């Protein structure tokens, strides 16, 4: 099992692998340093997201951010954000470690639902939201890959003793 530092490194590697593919499919669309910085943030968020069900830094951020985001959504009448925020709260407080947040199908469903929720409200941001989702999913896949690869390595190392 990788630590959060290992997952951040995995997210950076995923970002460097995804960027040429995104540049190929969306040439010059988001070729700005600020966009790439944002997409790096999305990749790192994805790389840490599966561990939202543990007592980790990302979970602590979720403790404080979820109520603030709910308050923001209510004040600004962004009611469409309440369903994903409730879902985030559910993941943070009620799930045990390595349950559905470590399943590939769950990550794809979360990413697709996020895409549909956001593009429903902001249809002109289709390609930006799609690109953000690709980076997030790439980071999340790197997390699952690292957990599985390092988990097998650690199990085989301990079984030889």
Each residue of 90-141: pLDDT tens digit?
766 676 666 778 889 989 998 998 898 888 888 898 888 899 999 999 999 9
Where are the alpha helices (H) located in 26-125, listed in sequence order?
A: 33-48, 57-75, 82-94, 104-121
Whether 152 shows a pLDDT value over 60: the answer reads: no
Structure tokens at 16: 């460097």
Task: Give pTM, 2 decimals.
Answer: 0.77
Q: Phi/psi of residue 4, each to 5°?
A: -65, -30
Expressed as residue numbers, the domain containing 27 is 4-159
**Range with the lowest mean pLDDT among 131-135, 140-144, 146-150?**
146-150
Query: Position of tokens 């549909």?
Result: 116
Each residue of 5-59: pLDDT tens digit?
899 999 999 999 999 998 888 777 667 888 899 999 999 989 988 887 777 666 6
Domain count within the chain: 1
The pLDDT score that the predictor gives to residue 92 is 65
CB-based contacts of 10, cutoff 8 Å, min separation 6: 2, 47, 139, 142, 143, 145, 146
C-alpha 122/C-alpha 119 separation (Å) is: 5
Structure tokens at 106: 């769950």
Question: Is the distance from CB of 49 to CB of 58 less than 8 angstroms?
Answer: yes
């Amino acid at each position: 099992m990788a630590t959060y530092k290992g997952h951040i490194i995995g997210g950076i590697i995923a970002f460097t692998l995804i960027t040429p593919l995104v540049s190929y499919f969306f040439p010059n669309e988001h070729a700005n340093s600020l966009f790439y910085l944002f997409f790096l943030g999305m990749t790192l968020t994805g790389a840490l997201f599966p561990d939202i069900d543990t007592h980790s830094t990302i979970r602590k951020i979720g403790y404080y951010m979820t109520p603030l985001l709910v308050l923001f959504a209510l004040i600004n009448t962004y009611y469409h954000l309440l369903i994903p925020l409730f879902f985030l709260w559910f993941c943070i407080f009620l799930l045990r470690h390595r349950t559905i947040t470590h399943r590939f199908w769950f990550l794809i469903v979360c990413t697709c639902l996020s895409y549909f929720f956001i593009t429903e409200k902001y249809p002109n941001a289709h390609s930006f939201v799609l690109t953000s989702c690709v980076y997030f999913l790439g980071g999340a896949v790197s997390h699952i890959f690292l957990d599985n690869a390092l988990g097998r390595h650690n199990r085989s190392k301990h079984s030889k003793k």
